[in-house]
Amino acid sequence: MNPTVLITGASRGIGFELARQYAARGWGVIATCRTPSGALGLQALAAANPNVIIEELDVTDFYEMERLAVRYEGVPIDVLINNAGILGGNDRQKFGTFDYKAFDEVMAVNVKGPIRMVELFIDNVAVSRQKKIMNISSSVGSVKMAFPGQNFYKASKSALNMSMKILSKELRGAKEPGRKEIIIGLIHPGVVRTDFAGPVPIPMIEPEESAAGVINVIETYYTGRRQSGDFMSYTGSKLPW
Ligand SMILES: NC(=O)c1ccc[n+]([C@@H]2O[C@H](COP(=O)([O-])OP(=O)(O)OC[C@H]3O[C@@H](n4cnc5c(N)ncnc54)[C@H](OP(=O)(O)O)[C@@H]3O)[C@@H](O)[C@H]2O)c1
């Protein structure tokens, strides 16, 4: 049987491209997004690929997440990809005029959502063959590489990294069946031309290249060359914390 991937934020950008590339490999794809009716590219993908299922999911809506988890109880998910993320607006995260509502929004989507997804779907991953929980992080979450700006967003990716790193350690001692073998990944997808940051004058790669690199790195975690909890770039190089 072909493996299955569940992706959050698959309506556009990197998440959509991950869905497209996994579908092309014949994987079962559970492509989740906030508003399926508006995700026209995803709808076209699902229409052309019976192995793609679209599910409505807002990662800040715990009730919706719980309902989805109940519907998928017992279904193996080889790779869970926490991809959904927001920047929160550059102007709202400047010291002196911090907009703390933006802080809450960014943390809800980029940190709380992924953590809750893992709590709810961990046993779907545990009963799968590949057993991977992969998080789309960012190199800007690296404390060592810190530079000014986007305070909340960067803090959210550092928090995501720490939370998942802790989980990777905790799972090593897990008693529940299959959980001990789960591999946690943290992957920087590159600086990618999506709607995410808007038009900024810096070199960017296309979503196709980013997703191909991310999938490649996810596979290297599979061979065991990458340790659970490692922080990786889509290029395959290890990033500093
Ligand atoms: N682009 C880059 O250069 C870059 C660099 C480093 C890391 N990243 C990370 O890569 C990931 C994907 O970013 P992207 O560049 O593809 O951005 P994007 O084009 O803006 O796409 C973001 C995706 O997240 C979804 N999303 C936002 N809030 C959500 C919520 N509450 N629940 C569920 N889905 C939600 C969006 O859905 P809607 O269509 O419903 O809004 C969309 O599908 C993010 O985690 C981001 O931090 C991106």
Span 21-62, pLDDT tens digits: 999 999 999 999 999 999 999 999 999 999 999 999 999 999
CA pair distance 26, 14, nearest whole angstrom: 18
CATH number of the domain enclosing 189: 3.40.50.720
Distance of CA 2 to the CA centre of its chain: 21
Q: How far is the CA of 153 from the centre of ligand 1 (A)?
A: 12
pLDDT of residue 195: 93
CB distance 205 to ligand 1 below 6 Å? no
**Residue 240 placed within a domain:** no
Task: Print the domain residue range for 133.
Answer: 4-233
133 lies in a domain? yes
Enumerate residues 6+ apart whose C-beta is below 8 A from 56. 32, 33, 34, 35, 36, 64
Classify residue 238: in a domain, yes or no: no
Q: Which of 86, 111, 150, when mutated, tests ligand 1's pocket best, judged by the most ligand atoms within 8 Å of its CB?
A: 86
Token pair 């802790």 is at which residue? 166
Predicted local confidence at residue 90, as pLDDT: 94
**Predicted pLDDT of residue 191:** 96
- Closest ligand 1 atom to the C-alpha of 16? 43
Structure confidence at residue 37 (pLDDT): 98
Question: Considering the domain boundaries, does residue 241 fall inside one?
Answer: no
The structural domain count of the chain equals 1
Residue 70: inside a domain, yes or no?
Answer: yes
Which residue, chain included where needed, has tokens 């005029």? 97
User: pLDDT value at position 221?
Assistant: 87
* Cβ 31 under 6 angstroms from ligand 1: no
Largest CA distance in the chain: 55
- For the CA of 110, the closest atom of ligand 1 is 45
Q: Is the CB of residue 124 below 6 angstroms from any atom belonging to ligand 1?
A: no
Give the mutation target among 17, 62, 83, 153 for probing the ligand 1 site: most ligand atoms within 8 A of CB: 83
Measure Cα distances from 179 to 1, 75, 220 in Å. Answer: 21, 15, 19
Instruction: Output the CA 193–ligand 1 centroid distance in Å.
Output: 12
What is the atom index within ligand 1 of the atom nearest the CA of 109? 31
Residues of the chain under the 70 pLDDT cut: 224
Examine residue 127 and state whether it is found in any structural domain, yes or no: yes
* pLDDT on residue 1: 84
